[in-house]
Amino acid sequence: MVDQRLLETIKKLQAESKKRNFLETVELAVNLRDVDLSNPKNRIQEDIVLPHGRGKTVKICVFGGSEMAVKAKAVADVVVQPEEIEDLASDKVKARKLAGSSDFFVAEAPLMPTIGKRLGIILAPRGKMPKPIPPGSDPGPVIKKLRSSVTIRTRDKLTFHLPVGAKDMPPEHLAENIDLVMSRVTTKLERGKQNVRSAYIKTTMGRSFRVI
């Protein structure tokens, strides 16, 4: 059941948001408390499939050999074959551009050591190391799932942000997306809701509205 207070806050956010020449993302900011994030064991990094998706295009890059590359071209936005990894690694500008333009990465499992060694310095700090899948497998199901996913990543800061949808989505859908994210966050915290100081939502260029 959708929380009515959250629903009304989302409706207010949408009503007060100015018209832009692009579709704004709705972002969730969560402020934690009494969590020692200097200890990596207390950090959260998890992909969550939103029940109503992100409301915007999510770009996927696949690292794969000839068989997977053929399959991936029909479902992925970018395909990088093994022989291209070294060229990409030697051109940091190009590698950073790829990392910035792709939301998620998928790779054939045998390529992971090479990707880690050659591109890890670019992908790892952004939380974008590829999701490994069996060699030659169909990446379609994984990609379909990722197109509706967001990543919770706390790093070493008590505040973290993530997209939870687009401004033009029905408020009920945004509320359900937010509710799922907060539910997953609290299950990862030692003291659950008591470790959440506050949470806010905002559009890309709009003001913040407190939801917790």
- C-alpha 196/C-alpha 35 separation (Å) is 9
Do the Cβ atoms of 126 and 45 come closer than 8 Å? Answer: no
Q: Hey, what are 25's tokens? A: 């993302």
Would you state the pLDDT for residue 1? 73
Q: Which domains does the chain have, with CATH numbers?
A: 4-55+149-210 (3.30.190.20), 60-146 (3.40.50.790)
Dump pLDDT digits (tens) for 65-77: 989 999 999 999 9
Give, in order, the Cα–Cα distances in Å from 182 to each of 75, 136, 152, 174.
Answer: 30, 36, 10, 12
Dump pLDDT digits (tens) for 80-108: 999 999 999 999 999 999 999 999 999 99
Cβ count within 10 A of residue 119: 25
Give, in order, the Cα–Cα distances in Å from 126 to each of 1, 96, 120, 134, 195.
Answer: 34, 10, 10, 24, 25
- C-alpha 154/C-alpha 37 separation (Å) is 8
Calculate what percentage of the chain has a pLDDT beyond 90. 92
> Mean of the per-residue pLDDT values for the chain?
95
Q: Can you spell out the DSSP letters for 35-76?
A: --TTSGGG--EEEEE-TT--SS---EEEE--HHHHHHHTTT-
Three-class SS of residue 132? strand
Calculate what percentage of the chain has a pLDDT beyond 70. 100
Partner residues linked to 61 by β-bridges: 78, 105
Dump pLDDT digits (tens) for 130-178: 999 999 899 999 999 999 999 999 988 899 999 999 999 999 999 999 9
User: Does the structure show a pLDDT above 80 at 2?
Assistant: no
Would you state the pLDDT for residue 72? 94
